[in-house]
Structure 1
């Protein structure tokens, strides 16, 4: 009798699934994501329900204070897709030259995507780079097509080069850096990277932005070795308004330049500010300065 009941229940569930299959959001179907991958010309890094596509400006040779900037240090554009409201929300940060900003923006606007910020991250870089933050919601394949067409207005590489083998070494005491920063970092293209989460949840249009690293709302800290235990550092602190000036003071006290302060989004809760920085000095000394800044924020440690 019990087997019969469970068989009937199973049939009913199958029938309901078939009946409502057309209502299943497009993002739940692997075929749609395959189309997104094909349109963007690369595979994503997948974190929980977020698919993040990297668009590093490997075509550029940028220097700052005599330091050649690796793409993973400050030239790593990205686009992230997260299921939301029957489709996908998309957020991203694109790295552009000055002459590329308006052509890419025009194409984005024509496709219905939003521009949420345009600004610098660095000072004195040659050539100067600008960063365009974008947002949108809808069918993932259509969003991907719009992003691809907009990026085609720039010289952003739309095909992926073969990765270096073996990957570049990181000539730094990474264990000590982990200890000072308080979280575990990871190597990426010759750069040692940290993502430091905030304690409070962050939402955009009432959607919880998780995982925070993939969605660009964790404090990002990057170390690029410059020889003799030194490193060039950059990234951005994610701050509430009351944290901004205490962090500025902490960084400046430790010899770290504050190079930009601005928003990245339009409707986030709580309101956030993003502070970019730069220095080239002893890596551990700089890590201690960054830790002093983090201590002024509601950030997590491992």
Structure 2
């Protein structure tokens, strides 16, 4: 009886969310942000890659899809929308962007590095808000205009070839990856549901709460890897141990949100080595988390 009641609640919530999604004028949101989104279920996710930057790390020129892909995601909620995002900024851009975000009623939920030794150094500002989606979009646009983040979407170019054995990488990681801007990307979902302010964060990849793993080919079967593991507190040190045992550097450990359930930690990493060897190390770390994989 309890399961049936819970199922009915879930179905009702889906109908309410669907109704809210239909009432949002997404074209106005698109216009406010100056770009089209990737749409997954009821989430509209807008990319703000730092295509204007040339960032190098340990001799590797970092592609935007590897570690410079800022984004904001809108999800219908309570008659409006919730927004979450992760914006890529230079050190000199942090203060003016933060000031504008706060002035426009948005919350700053985290500010930190993801990489070490990058030149120039990049910082990552996580933001959140709830309300009218067009007003939220305008506020985010105005804040980002305080930086040199490109405010018009870049023209699509033919995607570079991924010079890696991607089928083998899929097999090892345990999920199917996809190519994006010369980078091979994986999203590994957790088995447990994740919510923020009692709102279920689905789909998890679009909302930034799936483990993200990126491979950028660097020649001769090698790849630079980075991304972030999404973990509960008891998983943190087992994942650190697994990564370090396999020659993968841990570069940051922190939170991204303020009110999520369960409490989550995000661990960023870096290496440039044989891609298959690195994939095996990443899989060993994934095994220390409550993740879904083959």
TM-score range, shorter chain: over 0.9
Question: In the alignment, which residue of structure 2 is the partner of 1:47?
Answer: 40
Question: In the alignment, which residue of structure 1 is the partner of 2:143?
Answer: 150
Stretches of structure 1 lacking an aligned partner (at least 5 in a row): 1-22
Tell me if 1:66 matches 2:71. Answer: no
How many residues align? The count is 279
Report if the CA contact (8 A) 1:235-1:277 is conserved.
Answer: yes
Aligned mate of 2:70, from 77, 102, 106? 77
Report if the CA contact (8 A) 1:27-1:140 is conserved.
Answer: no
Please give the alpha-carbon distance, in whole angstroms, between the structure 1 residues aligned to 2:251 and 2:278.
Answer: 16
Q: Given the two structures, how large is their TM-score scaled by the length of structure 1?
A: 0.90
Question: In the alignment, which residue of structure 2 is the partner of 1:140?
Answer: 133
Aligned mate of 2:236, from 244, 250, 263? 244
CA RMSD, 1 decimal: 1.5
Distance 1:238 1:31, change over 3 A: closer
* Offset of residue 39 of structure 1: 1.0
Q: Moved runs in structure 1, 4+ residues, more than 4 A? A: 23-27
Aligned mate of 1:190, from 182, 196, 202? 182
* Offset of residue 27 of structure 1: 4.9
Q: Rg larger in 1 or in 2?
A: 1
Please give the alpha-carbon distance, in whole angstroms, between the structure 2 residues aligned to 1:37 and 1:84.
Answer: 18
Q: Given the two structures, how large is their TM-score scaled by the length of structure 2?
A: 0.93
Tell me if 1:267 matches 2:259. Answer: yes
- SS of the aligned residue for 1:153 comes to coil
Aligned mate of 2:91, from 89, 98, 116? 98
Please give the alpha-carbon distance, in whole angstroms, between the structure 1 residues aligned to 2:212 and 2:282.
Answer: 11
Stretches of structure 2 lacking an aligned partner (at least 5 in a row): 1-15
Question: In the alignment, which residue of structure 1 is the partner of 2:201?
Answer: 209
* Offset of residue 25 of structure 1: 9.8
* Offset of residue 31 of structure 1: 6.9
